């Protein structure tokens, strides 16, 4: 059963200089591993930061739909929403420790030259 769906689109241009931000600034939103991934290919850093930010917003929306609006604002929860890669290199969303319930999460990320879009689906885990 689907518990929540989140969709977000951001303009990549908003993130064109994020690779120049200090690590402490970036760590307010992203995990260390996300930052390292985003800056590992300078020509792709804008789209990578944009996609991960959109993923965090989409996941937040799905969480709000599934479990109600958290007491903390979006930006204070960002680091608890992490985009990782599965064993096949596909994006996966890690919501621990934010979501304690047993759920399955699904994410799809796409981008054009100008925007990044993400859909996150949370579903109840079946036995």
Write down the domain spans for the chain: 2-124
User: 2-124, what's its fold?
Assistant: Ribosomal Protein L22; Chain A (3.90.470)
Per-residue pLDDT reduced to its tens digit, 20-74: 999 999 999 999 999 999 999 999 999 999 999 999 999 999 999 998 877 778 8
Task: Examine the pLDDT at 100 and tell me if it is beyond 80.
Answer: no
Lowest mean pLDDT of 13-22, 71-80, 101-110, 114-123, name the range.
71-80
SS (H, E, C) 24-84: HHHCCCCCHHHHHHHHCCHHHHHHHHHHHHHHHHHHHHHHHHHHCCCCCCHHHHHHHCEEE
| Helix (H), strand (E) at residue 88 | none
CA 46, CA 17: separation in Å to the nearest integer? 7
pTM, 2 dp: 0.92
């Amino acid at each position: 059963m689907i518990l929540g769906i989140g969709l977000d689109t951001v303009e990549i241009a908003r993130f064109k200089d994020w690779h120049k931000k200090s690590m402490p600034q970036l760590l307010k939103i992203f995990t260390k591993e996300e930052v390292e991934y985003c800056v590992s290919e300078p020509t792709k850093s804008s789209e990578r930061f944009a996609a991960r930010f959109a993923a965090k917003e989409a996941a937040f929306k799905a969480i709000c739909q599934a479990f109600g609006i958290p007491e903390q604002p979006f930006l204070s929860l960002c680091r608890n929403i992490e985009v990782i890669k599965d064993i096949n290199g596909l994006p996966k969303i890690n919501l621990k420790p934010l979501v304690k319930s047993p759920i399955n999460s699904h994410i799809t990320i796409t981008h054009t030259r100008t925007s990044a879009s993400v859909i996150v689906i949370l579903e109840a885990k079946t036995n």
